[in-house]
């Protein structure tokens, strides 16, 4: 199958499975890439925790903050399904900045992330991305807003109503009645922008190697491995990643490093058109689409 036909086929399979997908796969050394709508910006959900980790690690490296400094963190006390770590704690905790970076990046802990945002506000994170030469990712707000969506206002048996609102309340210009899904209000990024960020971390130029190395290690220890990891993890490859989930959004970005020395950066950003919270089929379809593009690119 030629490249054009393959991309049409992948797009059709995503659509038939109830997903609008924005994908990009790039060979980190040759620069060759394949994508589907890679320049379309979408709300980034928890993917914003990667730039946050990058900015915090850079400040630690420069001596602006000490990674061993312990902060008192208020409990998140979240009871709805999804959030992890400190977000579900009932009592205050004292945790070192280095460990907050781990919790935020590897467990996608929103309360840990907001403790880091208290140190490095969104505008400083965005500025650090620009100085690293990474463009197209906006960082406008903390993660606490991700805990206050329509899904938290419905009984768990009515979660489909929140997803129906997420699917149907958008505009052609990427506006939305749900602020966390409004492209002019939310943290956003495109598949290309996130692949550019991965490129900058795995092949450092504008990022210090010490910082890049720590971030690569954190992403290698991501504990959320239900989405793309099954298709990219093996004894002959290493998958390092970060997921992002919010209402009908399902994202994952990562790098697969093969034993033969080739490495591919992958970003899959999707919007589900199915009003349901639990969709393992959508996760599998995302992985299949990404693997198909990677396999084709690997053979070129």
Over range 215-221, report the average pLDDT.
98
pLDDT at residue 47 greater than cutoff 70: yes
Residue 71 contacts residue 97 (beta carbons within 8 Å): yes
pLDDT at residue 272 greater than cutoff 80: yes
For residue 71, name the pLDDT band (cuts at 50, 70, 90): very high
For residue 117, name the pLDDT band (cuts at 50, 70, 90): very high
Per cent of the chain over pLDDT 70 is 95
Q: Of 14-28, 161-175, 204-218, 247-261, which range is least confident?
A: 161-175
Q: Of 40-44, 76-80, 123-127, 290-294, which range is least confident?
A: 76-80
More confident residue, 45 or 169: 45
Residue 143: both structure tokens together: 């993660």
More confident residue, 76 or 65: 65
**pLDDT value for 276:** 84
**Could you tell me the sign of the dihedral formed by the alpha carbons of 160, 165, 168, 174, in that order?**
negative
For residue 181, name the pLDDT band (cuts at 50, 70, 90): confident
* Cβ atoms within 10 Å of 197's Cβ, excluding its own: 27
**Mean pLDDT of the chain, nearest integer:** 93
For residue 36, name the pLDDT band (cuts at 50, 70, 90): very high
**pLDDT value for 86:** 92
Q: Report in angstroms the alpha-carbon separations of 98 from 88, 95, 254.
A: 20, 8, 22
**pLDDT value for 156:** 66
pLDDT at residue 173 greater than cutoff 90: no
Over range 55-80, report the average pLDDT.
93
């Amino acid at each position: 199958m030629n490249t054009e036909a393959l991309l049409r086929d992948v797009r059709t399979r995503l659509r038939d499975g109830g997903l609008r997908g924005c994908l990009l796969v790039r060979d980190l050394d040759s620069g060759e890439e394949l994508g589907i709508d890679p320049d379309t910006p979408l709300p980034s959900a928890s993917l914003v925790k990667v730039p946050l980790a990058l900015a915090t690690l850079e400040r630690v490296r420069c001596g602006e903050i000490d990674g061993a400094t312990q902060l008192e963190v208020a409990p998140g006390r979240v009871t709805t399904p999804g959030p992890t770590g400190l977000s579900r704690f009932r009592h205050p905790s004292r945790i070192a900045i280095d460990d907050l970076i781990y919790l935020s990046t590897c467990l996608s802990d929103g309360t840990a992330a907001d403790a880091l945002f208290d140190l490095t506000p969104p505008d400083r994170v965005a500025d650090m991305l620009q100085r690293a030469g990474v463009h197209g990712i906006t960082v406008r707000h903390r993660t606490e807003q991700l805990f206050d969506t329509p899904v938290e206002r419905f009984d768990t048996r009515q979660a489909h109503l929140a997803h129906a609102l997420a699917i149907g309340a958008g505009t052609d210009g990427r506006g939305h009645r749900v602020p966390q899904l409004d492209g002019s209000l939310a943290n956003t990024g495109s598949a290309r922008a996130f692949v550019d960020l991965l490129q900058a971390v795995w092949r450092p130029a504008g990022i210090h190697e010490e910082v890049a190395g720590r971030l690569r290690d954190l992403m290698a220890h991501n504990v959320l491995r239900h989405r793309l990891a099954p298709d990219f993890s093996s004894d002959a490859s290493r998958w390092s990643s970060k997921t992002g989930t919010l209402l009908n959004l399902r994202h994952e970005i990562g790098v697969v490093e093969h034993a033969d020395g080739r490495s591919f950066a992958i970003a899959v950003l999707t919007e589900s058109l199915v009003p349901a919270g639990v969709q393992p089929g959508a996760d599998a379809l995302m992985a299949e689409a990404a693997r198909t593009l990677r396999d084709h690119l690997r053979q070129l």
